[in-house]
Amino acid sequence: MNIFRKQLQGKSGARLSGALIVLAVAASHAAAADFPTRPIRFVVPFAAGGTSDIIGRILSARMQEGLGQSLVVDNRGGAGGSIGTDIVAKANADGYTLVLGSNGTHAIVPYLYKSLPYDPIKDFTPVSMVVVTPTLLAATPDLPVKTVKDLITLARAKPGALAYGSSGVGSTTHIAGEMLATMAGIQLNHVPYKSASAAYPDVFSGRVALIFDTVLSMMQHIKAERVRPLAVTNPARTYTLPNVPTMSEAGVPGYAMTLWIAIYAPAGTPAPVVAKLNREVQRALSLPDVREQMTLQGAEVAVGSPADLLAATQSDLKKMGELVKTAKIVPQ
């Protein structure tokens, strides 16, 4: 009798648990159907005017058309993007707080700070890849070099005398410079700024000889002849600057460094909400005018599923760890 009663209780408990799961799933789908009902906070973890900011504003303007709610861009720069990224890691997992991250915030920064406040995998739900954009090495016009080989020769003649600006310690542009120094066997002096845009006045004046930045941010300065492009860090040449060689072509064989930008939500964000956001990202990036804007600025649209972004994050996390170790960058 007691055994029979326990079996009934077990079956009742199982039915209750099953019913609760069904109700929870139904509630989640209902919430996704209504989502969003208020503005979405879109954190860009870098300063205004940079590549992430430009991409974020182009994308948010078109996403809000489909979602029916504003995506409010919130620039929270600092510490290689980790400050703004951490805000999202600790936000409510409801889809109303997103971050425009990158392989900088999710694959490089974790190796550069001993006490990073977030885990790049466990604390986030991937939403979608957005774009891939090449990084460019450029020199101040007064520097007596026209090619990367010229630069290497000069740097070997004057060890440590040449400085390069980046968008901060731990940024992809910082790693790009350290890769060049390591692979070419030269000494360069790294000068970090709060953003790449903050470095340009010193580059224009010649106080800093070199700068690594994305084609997207640097294009206006190239057109104005305020900087001289030397090489792109991508494995292949970029559409917008077809005459600029890759770093590998220019004299550093095997060099390749690509920046990708993507959207993440806090860990635990309901799958239906994530799926809706992913669809809207893909819809916005499929618009001809948006794709044209991205292409003209040197960015390549690279949308995919949340699973695709997770795989890319995990892969780059491993790759960047090896690069940071090779470059002998010490965590702060």
Q: How far apart are the C-alpha atoms of 331 and 232, rounded to whole Å?
A: 27
* Percent of the chain at pLDDT exceeding 90: 62
Tens digit of each residue's pLDDT (9 = 90 or more) over 257-267: 888 999 999 99
Mean pLDDT to the nearest integer, 53-70: 94
Alpha carbons 249 and 252: distance in angstroms, whole number: 7
Q: How far apart are CA 222 and CA 69, in angstroms?
A: 37
> Can you tell me which residue has the tokens 């996390």?
317
pLDDT digits (tens, 9 = 90+) for 270-293: 999 999 999 999 999 999 999 998
Contact of 175 with 320, CB cutoff 8 Å: yes
Burial of 114 (C-beta count, 10 Å sphere; 0-12/13-18/19+): exposed
On whether the CB atoms of residues 126 and 262 are closer than 8 A, the answer is yes
Q: Is 204 helix (H, G, I), strand (E, B) or coil?
A: helix
Q: Of 1-15, 68-82, 123-137, which range is least confident?
A: 1-15
pLDDT tens digits for range 205-255 = 999 999 999 887 898 899 999 999 999 998 888 888 899 999 999 999 999
Q: How far apart are CA 180 and CA 191, in angstroms?
A: 15
Residue 233, CA distances (Å) to 130, 296, 313 in order: 19, 18, 19
pLDDT in the model for residue 240: 82
Specify the pTM: 0.77
What average pLDDT does range 148-160 have in this prediction? 96
CB 195 within 8 A of CB 49: yes
Within 35-134, where are the H helices?
A: 51-67, 82-89, 103
Q: Which structural domains are found in the chain, ordered by start?
A: 39-131+258-326 (3.40.190.150), 134-232 (3.40.190.10)
Q: How confident is the model at residue 25 (pLDDT cuts 50, 70, 90)?
A: low
Tell me how far apart the alpha carbons of residues 113 and 86 are, in angstroms, rounded to a whole number. Answer: 13
Q: What's the whole-number average pLDDT of the chain?
A: 88
Helices first, then strands: H and E counts in the chain = 11, 10
